[in-house]
């Protein structure tokens, strides 16, 4: 989500001062009205890594969305898109009970894929059906190598930081509090201003922004409810991330009950 301009507070985007100290890449490269895909991220992130390497430097890839990490480091290929097919499934999802019917179709056509898709995840459900319609194959077949953890496409060392559950939960609550104190509601107002084009489906689903926009447009009961919903969605995401990365035997794990920043010197030394 840090690729989107104007979505700074809710994504913990590096500040101008921080970017002046260390070059950052793939920040502010898209308007929030643009769709962003893992295939596009793969191409642009790999180009950035190659550019860094060409200058005799080493890249630090920092993030937590498993599929996006592996799209950069592993030999994953992604099927194309068909806007007409997608629009048809989107229209059906808009109908009463439509999203549930679409999810049931995914279950029927590709049970393996369905186990990795939340029943309410509209974007993934529509994408799964779109891919199956285009390729004639199960959606799970398009995740080439997802269950395998072999050689990466370029040399990479993968390090993970593990936090105890209660510590992680406390940090999530503090982070959401900082988002609201830091002006996420102001960003939500700017992103949904009448003079702006509508947010893309990707940007509109961003954790924190979806709830803040609901406050701005009056569909959320109050700010406290929006904050609680953001905390819940973030905790759910964190659990999914943990499950995803635990499957990867290439990761060297480091644990701490304190501030993860304290591990930075040791992590960097490990990467020499």
Where do the structural domains in the chain lie, given as residue ranges? Answer: 9-77+148-270, 83-142
Phi, psi (deg, nearest 5) at residue 164: -60, 145
CATH of domain 83-142: 1.10.20.140
- Average the pLDDT over each of 6-10, 147-151, 165-169, 199-203 and give the range with the smallest value: 147-151
Residue-wise pLDDT for 140-166, tens only, equals 876 545 778 889 999 999 999 999 999
- What is the pLDDT at residue 32? 97
Distances (CA, A) of 193 to 30, 35, 162, 190, 198: 18, 19, 39, 5, 9
- What is the pLDDT at residue 76? 86
Distance (Å, rounded) from C-alpha 29 to C-alpha 12?
Answer: 16
Is the pTM higher than 0.85? The answer reads no
**Residue 176 pLDDT more than 90?**
yes
Domain 9-77+148-270 in CATH 3.40.50.300? The answer is yes
- What is the pLDDT at residue 212? 97
72-81, 146-155, 182-191 — most confident range? 182-191
Residue-wise pLDDT for 38-67, tens only, equals 889 999 999 999 999 999 999 999 887 888
Distances (CA, A) of 29 to 187, 237, 260: 17, 24, 28
Mean pLDDT score, 163-174: 95
């Amino acid at each position: 989500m840090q690729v989107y301009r104007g979505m700074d507070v809710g994504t913990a985007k590096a500040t101008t001062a921080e970017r002046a100290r260390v070059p950052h890449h793939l920040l502010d490269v898209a308007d929030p009205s643009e769709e962003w895909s893992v295939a596009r991220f793969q191409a642009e992130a790999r180009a950035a890594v190659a550019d860094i390497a060409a200058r005799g430097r080493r890249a630090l890839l920092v993030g937590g969305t498993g599929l996006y990490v592996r799209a950069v480091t592993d030999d994953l290929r992604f099927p194309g898109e068909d806007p007409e097919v997608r629009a048809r499934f989107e229209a059906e999802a808009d109908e009463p009970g439509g999203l549930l019917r679409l999810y049931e179709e995914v279950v029927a056509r590709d049970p393996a894929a369905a186990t990795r898709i939340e029943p309410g995840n509209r974007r993934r459900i529509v994408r799964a059906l779109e891919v199956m319609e285009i390729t004639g194959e199960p959606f799970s077949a398009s995740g080439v190598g997802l269950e395998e953890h072999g050689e990466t496409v370029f040399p990479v060392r993968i390090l993970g930081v593990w936090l105890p559950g209660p510590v992680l939960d406390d940090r999530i609550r503090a982070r959401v509090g900082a988002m609201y104190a830091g002006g996420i509601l102001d960003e939500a107002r700017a992103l949904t201003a009448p003079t702006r084009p509508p947010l893309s489906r990707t940007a509109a689903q961003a954790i924190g922004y979806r709830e803040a926009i609901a406050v701005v447009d009056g569909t959320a009961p109050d700010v406290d409810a929006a904050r609680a919903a953001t905390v819940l969605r973030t905790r759910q995401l964190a659990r999914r991330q943990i499950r995803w990365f635990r499957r990867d035997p290439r990761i060297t794990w480091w644990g701490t009950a304190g501030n993860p920043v304290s591990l930075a010197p040791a992590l960097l030394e490990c990467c020499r």
